[in-house]
Each structure stands twice: as structure tokens, then as C-alpha cells.
Structure 1
């Protein structure tokens, strides 16, 4: 059993007067940062240039991983010291200064201290990622670190950092790494045409990737995830804030404000962010955008609600085993969890969680810390919110604080990339995600998935094409279509297409699918939420039209939330065009009663009647008699409710 974070890090006593939801104050944040840094520095090389944390290496190798340990912890140290006005009770900056000196003496040499060179992303790219953290750490702590370095060390550091300006980033948020390096160099009087061009190029791409509603795509495709908060909003707005550039702050700040209108709802009442998208081992970095909004004033949230979200997220992970008995952040979610990881994840990767400590830039006495905590957006009345730009439908229930994300727009497939079932990513491909459940592994039955089975092969969902979304008072909908692709035999079936609609109301989800062009002998399968039969979260999946009786399927590899999970599944024989309707539900409210399956294929107490006439589905809700109508057209879907 893991030791408590309070014991490991010496957290102060809870303050339930000012922080009635979490008990955390600014002092808890400082203690958490100090504890994480103290544990990580035990693994430093003699010169302090690398923190070689224990564990299996990433595909970039141990030298790059060691640089990652230095750079990502430097972020936490930078926020910690800058937010305290330069006070450095643990002598952190001296260590980072020594490490900078040692790492840049002979870059590229294969020894215990030298940092790897920054090259193109497909050659040796990871150091480019870390260069941004080094640059940002130096910028945050300039009066107490950079300005006290000898000119020789400054010159060597600049030369190493400029590798980020001279090599090709990956085609996504990576362009913000040279942008951040250039911003630092310009801030210390070392800017030139090279730094200006790096910033111009990143700004051009950022505008190209902006899709509206406060959301950026992470590259030229349709990848919408936590990278919005911990990268695409964080770097440009923090750069403008540190530079005191009012025009750029207003531009990027307005987008962050709009982003937080929807994103702030994506934290559960227990503090958990949505388990969705890649790099989830960064954990409480998910709250970085909320913290930055409070620091800069560009947020729709009150200071008390902002603190509730950021402190709730930090506490959520500290209490659930994210930190091992050695004080180190593990690779995983709660504790270690291999299925959460990507191949680029190494022992120090979790320390991008340091970005959450941007909240410490709000000094003691700032409204973020001085105002009493208020409820998080997910702790109020039930809400349903559509985010058309991203193709999201966000559904929260106040009784249990559970947030669900219905994904009809984010797929992490590049525009130039083909669709292959072998590349299906459980963290993007599923129909829905939540704050209390995780997706099953790629080797197990997929949760929250509509597959078509042809010749014994189950289809995957790769590229997701939105078909529309909207919301009203107490309800919302989102729709998309995808081309089923298969792992065996021909990758596609001519004419086969699946259109999917989710209607959210309360804790219930109406899931409507239209399968077109199904060959003879095909079968459709729909799965629901993967939950532990003995855990607090419970799920339901019932057929309303076209589906056979449900069954329960085991997922032996479990999820990031539970080792033992089962997945409800429906099946139906389909040929040609078929319209299928089901009701799903997920709850962690112990008082909530999940209905039993009714004889007439509706669900007692929830749905009163279902009518399917051609390509139109009409559902009458039992509670209040409201009617939901979904109409499929040629490449379009409409929905209304009343």
C-alpha cells in the first residue's frame, strides 16, 4: 500500500474553512511541489544535468530521458520560486544552474552529464520538447538564476537552445517549443531574425489550428484533447503574460476564457479530469489551463471555483497512488498502468504534471488563494453542453459529480494518414469517456463502441466525421459517421458506413445508430461503459429497437480505474440499412436505481415509447412526456426535443 501524500510530502493540516471542498491551500501546493522535487533529485547525476529516474526507458533512450527529468522538474521549480518572489528555501535554483552548466559543456557527447543535441523530430526529437521547459524555467527564474550565470554558461545554453529553432518539430503542438525558446531568448536580449521566424511560424500554425469554441486541433487533423490546456493555450498566453504584452494577452486570453467555458466542466466532483486522449500520465497537468486563467484573469470562473478545480485535481491523484512510496510520480493514472502510456513515455514523462503548478504564479493573497472555495461546474445542477468545433457533447450529473464526454469529433488521425484498424487508439476511438471509467485495452472487448462484424472480424472506428450537435435546456445531442475498417481480410466493405447519434439527458444517453450497406451475414455490436461489478460506478445498456437481449463481457486487462471490469454488450443481425436504438447510463450515485429491462423493449421509468419510421426515430421520455426526434438524411442528422 502506498504511503499517503501527506506523510511523503509533509503536507500541512487541511483548512476546511477557506477550502471546504478540498482542504488544500497554497501551502499544500508548495509542499507538494517541494516533495516531488526532493524525491526526483535523489536520482540526479553528480553534475545535476540529468535526473535518471528509475524505470524502463522510452524509445528516445536513457540520455534523453535524463534530460527530461531535469527539464520537467525545472518547470515545477520555476513556478515554485517565481510565485514566491524568488524565495528558494530548498536551494533548488543552484542545482538547476549547476545542471545547466554541466549539460551544455559538451552537448551530444555520450557521457554521464552531456545533454543530447536537438535534432529533427523524426531523428532525435524529444530534446526539442524539453528545450521549452528549460527555456521557460530560465525565464521564470531569470533574476535569481540566469542573470547570475557567467557569460560563458549563458552562451552555451543559448547555443544548445537554438537547436530547437533550427530543426523541424512534429506537425502539432511541438511548434510551440521553439516558440517558447525564442520567447526566452528575446526576453534576455538575445533575439534575432531566427527567433522572430520561429515565433511567426508557430503563430501562423496556431491560427490555422484554431477551430472555434476555444478549442485548437493538435495539428492539421481533428485531435482535440488535454493538449489544449497544457500546451496550445498555455505556451502562448503564458509567454504574453510574462512579456506583459497586453495585445497578445487579450488575444490568447479571450480564447482561453472561451475554452474554459466547456473545459472547466470536464472535471468530476471528485477532482478527476476526463480519462481521454493521449499523454494521460501527465495527470494533474490537465488543470494547467484553469490555473493559468486564474493567474491572468482570463477565465469565466470565479477564483473560488478555479481553486476548487485545480486543488481537486491535485488532491485526486495524490490520494490515489499516483505517487509511489519513493515520492516519484509513476507511469500511469492512479498508480502504474501500462495501457495509459505511449511509446514516448519514459520514467520522467509524468513530470509534465509540473504545469499544474502554474497556479503558484498567483502569489499568497491573490484571489485564487484568498477567496473561499466554491463548487466546481460539475457539482451544480445536471448539465449537457455541446462543443460543435470539437464534436463533443459533455454531460455532467450533480448527484454523483460524474462527467461524461461523448466523442463525435476527435480522432487523432492526420489528414494524410490512411485508416487502419491496427492503429485504433482506445483513447480516441470510443464513443464516450468519463471521469470514473477508463477505456478497455486494445486487446480486450472495446467499451462504448459500435462495431460491425463481417466474416468474424470486428470493425474499428478511426476517422470521425462530425454531423452536427446542439443543446437546449437539460438535453443535448451530437452526431458523427465513420467508415468501419477491419483488422483481417479486406480493410473495408464497399458501401458500409455507420452513423452515430448520442442524445444526453440527466444521467441517461440515447444511442442511435444507422448502419448502411451492411453485407449479408453482418452483425452489429454495441457496448457500454466498462465498470467494476463491485465498484461505485454502475452502468446500464438496454436495447430499445433492433437489438437482441444484452450480455455481459469481461475485459481481463481492466482499465486505469479497476483491475476487474465487465462491459455490457448488445448484438443484432444487420443487412443493408438498419436503424438501432439503445439506452445507456452511467452513475456513481448510490441512491440511483438503474431500471430493469421491460417486456416491451422500453425501459421502465425512463423511456415510455420508441417509434422508428424509416430513417426517423422518435422517443417519448417517461418522466415528463418530452419527445426527442432524430432524423437521418443524406450526409446529415437533425435532432429536436420538446
Structure 2
């Protein structure tokens, strides 16, 4: 009897805790946005402010994965800069305003413009390497991805000298060939940016990236990463976002047909459905595949679809906001993802250097900023203004109606 009584008491206590928890009000979109902005500012600040001061190489720690195989001093700083720029660009593209968030954006944008000039100035301590190593093909592409995402905020204000220097560095990349996988998009996107900037691109690199990605499309929103399929997050880390934005440049320059571009977008939209469903009710998501130290970059494609206002009808903007906010709280609130000076540390959810890949160092980790693209939507957008909305798996695992999933044929 005593055992049954105790069991009943425990069950009643758990039920009471559950009811109290469920009765707590959910955060508003305004609160979510303030959390996102503060977290991105915390993450990007050390990279951007140090670059502006010419102290990035001096102050950024150099943590390397076990078995690291690259020349970190030649690649990690461009990794940090390129990836950070690609992630913060949509947010920095918003106009200035007197809010706290507006002040943070203005600080970052002002410092970043100064930092970009430093990055291509051979006399500056933070002059970045574009001239050697294969890895720089990757991170030059992330850098120009940021320019394409925020041309008026990050490209047009640069001085003529800085633009010329940057173009020269980008053209110097042509001495190296991309690997036969998603890397083709790094060369392709860089050439697309040169086309955007009024330069003559290498048509072979552009066409090859476009043709091979079309060939490697497996169906239902998934691309193969080269000739062989890999079950990881590279469709989100690289493939869909870069292919879409490369294709947009080609469309605007009349080097791609509208139906080709529309197919690329539809495939990213379909892939984003999978990402939305991967967010568990508690905000966790599966840690499978390589490069999981890129953390929230796993949701870049979903964030970009939201930013482009291309979400499927059954996925409301607010449910993406709430799902991604849950991911951020689950990942960044409970464990130490930053060192004492605010730099990201190797790991997935906390300090876990053992899960880092042989090409991962401190600079690599700033892919995580790519999960914040919806901050480029203004504060009065439905993404931020609509009330709390449950995401698909939260509805599914609480006995509520949710949309069945079917494959698509495009």
C-alpha cells in the first residue's frame, strides 16, 4: 500500500509540475527577437570588432580539432570573417533606428566596413590570406555571399580601393580547383559575385557548378554532395543557400531561365520542410553527419526560405520563429559554447572537441551565425509579430492535428 501511495504521489506531483509549466506564458515575438539579436551580437562581435581594430589574428584563440590537418594560421581567420559576414548580412541590411537593436546593428556594420578594408590591405596586421591553400575557396565564397545578401549595406559603401583589392584577391583564387562536391558552389558563387560586381566572370566555373548540382539532385528536395549521397546537413550548410543565390545572380544577368531558378527555389522550400520537422518538441535536433560543430547553421536553408517569404502555406512564419528560438535556447543557454572572452569553442552543444572534424578550428565555428538569417526580416513582420505557434513535431508529439508529409516530384 505504501509503495502504491508513494507512486500516486509522485504521479500527482509530476502532473502538477506539467500543468504549471504549460500554464506559463510563452515568449512574445518581440522577446524572441531581442534574444536572437543579443545572441548574434555576442557571437559575431569578437570577430567583427577585432577585425576592425586589426587585432583578429592577435586575439582570436586557435583551438583545433584532434587530428587537425590544415594550416590553421593560413585559413582560420578568413573562415571566421567570411562565415560571420554571411550570417550577419541580412540583419545589418536593415535601416538604422534608435532602438537598442538598431544601435547594435549600426555598431557591427560600421566596424565591419572598416574590418573588410583591413582584411584586404597588405599593410594591415589582419590582412587575410586568399593566395594559398584550398580552404580559402570556401570562405571567400561565404564572404561574397554576405555581400550578395546585403549589397547596399556591405558592398556599396566600401571605398573604390577596397573593392579593387577585394576583386583582385577573388580572382587570385582561380589558381586552385574546387573539390568535386559542394565545393563547386564556392567557385561558382564567387564568380557570380564578380559578375554582380561588374567584373568578367569565369564562365566555366559558373556553368560547371550549375550543371553538376542539377545532375546531383536526388529528388524530394535533397542534393547529393558530389557523386555519392551523404546524410548530413550540407544541403543546408552550403548547397541550397549558395545555389539559390548564385542562380538569382544568373537570373538577374539573364544567364539563367526563370523556370530554372524557380525549380532551384522550390527544391530549397521542400528541403526546408524537413528542417522544420527535425526540430523536436524540446528544441533539440539530430546530431548526425559531419561538421555538426557548425551548430545552428544546420537551419540556414529554413531561415533563408523564411527570409525570402517562401514558406509553404502550412508552415506559418511564427512556428519557424518559435521552433528556431527553442533550438537556440536548447543549444546556447544550458552549456558553455563560448570561452571566457566570448569566442566559440569546439563542440555541438557545449565544449565537445572530440566531435570536431579534421578541418575544424576556431574560425570554422562561425558558420553558426548562418542560423540567424530571419533577423533580416523587419521587427513588424509576421515572423516576429504573430503570437506563439507550435512547430510540427511539437504538435505531432502532443496529440494535435498536423499535416501529413508526402514527397514532391520537382
Query: What TM-score comes out, normalization by structure 2 length?
Result: 0.79
* Aligned partner (choices 75, 78, 84) of residue 67 of structure 1: 78
Residue 253 of structure 1 pairs with residue 260 of structure 2 = no
1:205 to 1:295, Cα distance in 2 relative to 1, 3 A: same
1:96 corresponds in structure 2 to 112
2:210 corresponds in structure 1 to 203
1:239 to 1:279, Cα distance in 2 relative to 1, 3 A: same
Please report how far the alpha carbon of residue 81 of structure 1 lies from its aligned counterpart in structure 2 after TM superposition.
Answer: 0.6
1:339 corresponds in structure 2 to 354
Aligned length: 361
Which has more helix, going by share of residues? Answer: 2
1:144 corresponds in structure 2 to 153
* Aligned partner (choices 80, 87, 90) of residue 76 of structure 1: 87
2:126 corresponds in structure 1 to 113
Equivalent-residue separation in structure 1 for 2:340 and 2:27 (angstroms): 30
2:332 corresponds in structure 1 to 318
1:203 to 1:304, Cα distance in 2 relative to 1, 3 A: same
Please report how far the alpha carbon of residue 351 of structure 1 lies from its aligned counterpart in structure 2 after TM superposition.
Answer: 0.7
Residue 170 of structure 1 pairs with residue 185 of structure 2 = no
Q: Does the aligned pair in 2 maintain the 1:51–1:69 contact within 8 Å?
A: no
* Aligned partner (choices 20, 33, 36) of residue 26 of structure 1: 33
> Secondary structure of the residue that 1:25 maps to in structure 2?
helix
Q: Does the aligned pair in 2 maintain the 1:44–1:51 contact within 8 Å?
A: no
> Secondary structure of the residue that 2:218 maps to in structure 1?
strand
> Secondary structure of the residue that 1:380 maps to in structure 2?
helix
1:220 corresponds in structure 2 to 227
Which has more strand, going by share of residues? Answer: 1
Equivalent-residue separation in structure 1 for 2:382 and 2:235 (angstroms): 25
Q: Deviations over 1:221-280 (max 9, x none)?
A: 121311111211111224456788564552222102222333322121121221100110
- 1:34-433 equivalence runs, <5 A: 34-41=41-48, 43-44=50-51, 46-47=53-54, 50=57, 52-57=59-64, 58=68, 59-84=70-95, 89=104, 90-106=106-122, 112-119=125-132, 124-190=133-199, 192-194=200-202, 196-240=203-247, 247=259, 249-300=261-312, 301-321=315-335, 322-381=337-396, 397-398=397-398
1:44 to 1:15, Cα distance in 2 relative to 1, 3 A: farther
1:144 to 1:317, Cα distance in 2 relative to 1, 3 A: same
Equivalent-residue separation in structure 1 for 2:59 and 2:212 (angstroms): 34
Equivalent-residue separation in structure 1 for 2:47 and 2:385 (angstroms): 30
Query: What TM-score comes out, normalization by structure 1 length?
Result: 0.52
Q: Does the aligned pair in 2 maintain the 1:50–1:70 contact within 8 Å?
A: no
> Secondary structure of the residue that 1:268 maps to in structure 2?
coil
2:6 corresponds in structure 1 to none
Equivalent-residue separation in structure 1 for 2:40 and 2:117 (angstroms): 24
Unaligned runs of 5+ in 1: 1-13, 382-396, 400-472, 475-642
1:261 to 1:137, Cα distance in 2 relative to 1, 3 A: closer
1:346 to 1:29, Cα distance in 2 relative to 1, 3 A: same
Q: Does the aligned pair in 2 maintain the 1:49–1:67 contact within 8 Å?
A: no
Please report how far the alpha carbon of residue 47 of structure 1 lies from its aligned counterpart in structure 2 after TM superposition.
Answer: 2.5
Please report how far the alpha carbon of residue 379 of structure 1 lies from its aligned counterpart in structure 2 after TM superposition.
Answer: 1.3
Tell me: higher relative CO, structure 1 or 2? Use CA pairs within 8 A at least 6 residues apart: 2
Q: Does the aligned pair in 2 maintain the 1:287–1:313 contact within 8 Å?
A: no
Equivalent-residue separation in structure 2 for 1:339 and 1:360 (angstroms): 32
> Secondary structure of the residue that 1:211 maps to in structure 2?
strand
- 1:467-486 equivalence runs, <5 A: none
- 1:432-471 equivalence runs, <5 A: none
CA RMSD of aligned residues (A): 2.9
1:352 to 1:36, Cα distance in 2 relative to 1, 3 A: same
Equivalent-residue separation in structure 2 for 1:213 and 1:85 (angstroms): 40
Equivalent-residue separation in structure 2 for 1:244 and 1:356 (angstroms): 26
Equivalent-residue separation in structure 2 for 1:193 and 1:284 (angstroms): 32
Equivalent-residue separation in structure 2 for 1:73 and 1:15 (angstroms): 33
> Secondary structure of the residue that 1:91 maps to in structure 2?
helix
Equivalent-residue separation in structure 1 for 2:189 and 2:204 (angstroms): 12
Residue 16 of structure 1 pairs with residue 34 of structure 2 = no
Equivalent-residue separation in structure 2 for 1:56 and 1:364 (angstroms): 36
Q: Deviations over 1:381-410 (max 9, x none)?
A: 3xxxxxxxxxxxxxxx558xxxxxxxxxxx
Q: Deviations over 1:306-328 (max 9, x none)?
A: 11222222222111322344322
Q: Does the aligned pair in 1 maintain the 2:92–2:153 contact within 8 Å?
A: no
Please report how far the alpha carbon of residue 129 of structure 1 lies from its aligned counterpart in structure 2 after TM superposition.
Answer: 1.1
Largest Rg, 1 or 2: 1
